[in-house]
Amino acid sequence: MSGIPRPKPKLPVIKRATPDTLFYIDYEWWESSNLDLKTYLYTRMSNINDLEMDFDVEEIDLVDSKTGEVRRVDGFQYMVQIYFSQLPDDFMASASLVDAVFSVLLANGNQPMAARDIAQRVNRSPDVILRTFSGPRVYQGIRPQHD
């Protein structure tokens, strides 16, 4: 045996998800899948005729209610956010967990949300959110944000 020490490979650090872990919809997951997000959203927006939305608007000015900052956003993205923020209260009770969380994130403009906040909005336990969305399988692009 030689006296030369063997190199030790660095193992990746795996962060354990907690109720404070933020989750978001990874649009790159949708791009790399065989699914089309826009088509999927159109099929989900069953009551689209009830909304007074202009599909031809490419961009709109949106004012951030917290900072007052004005930013340009995609018109379709805004329409989706408005639609999902106006879902009836009983939707969360009747929807699957994946659909409910997906809808909450869309209604929030896909701003990352903590598992505990998502759990409160979908009337489920934070542990259920963590077990479902922090594992190796990705549902509808919902992923934990590890910074």
Domain boundaries, the chain: 22-145
Q: What is the pLDDT of residue 13?
A: 55
Is a pLDDT exceeding 60 seen at residue 56? yes
Residue 99's pLDDT band (boundaries 50, 70, 90)?
Answer: very high
Asked whether the beta carbons of 30 and 141 are under 8 A apart, the reply is yes
User: For the chain, what is the mean pLDDT?
Assistant: 85
Is a pLDDT exceeding 60 seen at residue 93? yes
Rounded to two decimals, what is the model's pTM?
A: 0.79
Is a pLDDT exceeding 60 seen at residue 54? no
Asked whether the beta carbons of 96 and 81 are under 8 A apart, the reply is no
Is a pLDDT exceeding 80 seen at residue 61? yes
Residue 105: its H or E element: helix 97-107
